[in-house]
Structure 1
Amino acid sequence: MKELVEVLAKALVDHPEEVRVNEVVKDRSIVYELSVAPEDMGKIIGKQGRIAKALRTVVNSAAAKEKKRVTIEIL
């Protein structure tokens, strides 16, 4: 799952070498903390958060197959 977030984020930004994904396991969910270069922040969030929402939707769909609860936080 972490690799999925990383691959999707790297495809969207201009500086893929600065994409970092940190996995934090909580009681019943997994939180992925995504950090990118400051100039790529707008590309990850998108207009009115559309790209961020789409990224979360794709990851939630993949997690549903494994019966896990996943969230993405953009730092």
Structure 2
Amino acid sequence: MRELVETMARALVDYPDSVDVEERQQENTLVLTLSVHESDMGKVIGKQGRIANAIRSVLYASASHQKKRVRLDIVE
């Protein structure tokens, strides 16, 4: 899951080396925290959150195939 989010985020941003995804288990949910360079936040979130929702949709589809619960947080 971590690699999937990293790959999608790196394709969108101007500073791919600043992309970092942290993974932690919280009860029965895998929580992924995506952080990017400050100037790339808009590219990852998109207008009205459309890019972020698209990333989450791909992630949720992958997780449901593996019978996992997952959450994606995007931070600076």
TM-score range (shorter-chain normalised) is over 0.9
Return the structure number with greater strand share: 2
The alignment partner of 2:34 has SS state of strand
Identical-residue share of aligned pairs (%): 52
- In the alignment, structure 1 segments of 5+ residues that lack a partner are none
Distance 1:46 1:24 in 2: 25
Runs of 4 or more, structure 1, over 4 Å off, are none
How many corresponding residue pairs? Answer: 75
Give the TM-score, by structure 2 length: 0.97
In structure 2, the residue matched to 1:66 is 66
RMSD across aligned positions (CA):
0.4
The alignment partner of 2:7 has SS state of helix
Q: 1:24 offset after TM fit, Å?
A: 1.2
Distance 1:59 1:18 in 2: 20
In structure 2, the residue matched to 1:30 is 30
- In the alignment, structure 2 segments of 5+ residues that lack a partner are none
In structure 2, the residue matched to 1:8 is 8
In structure 2, the residue matched to 1:46 is 46
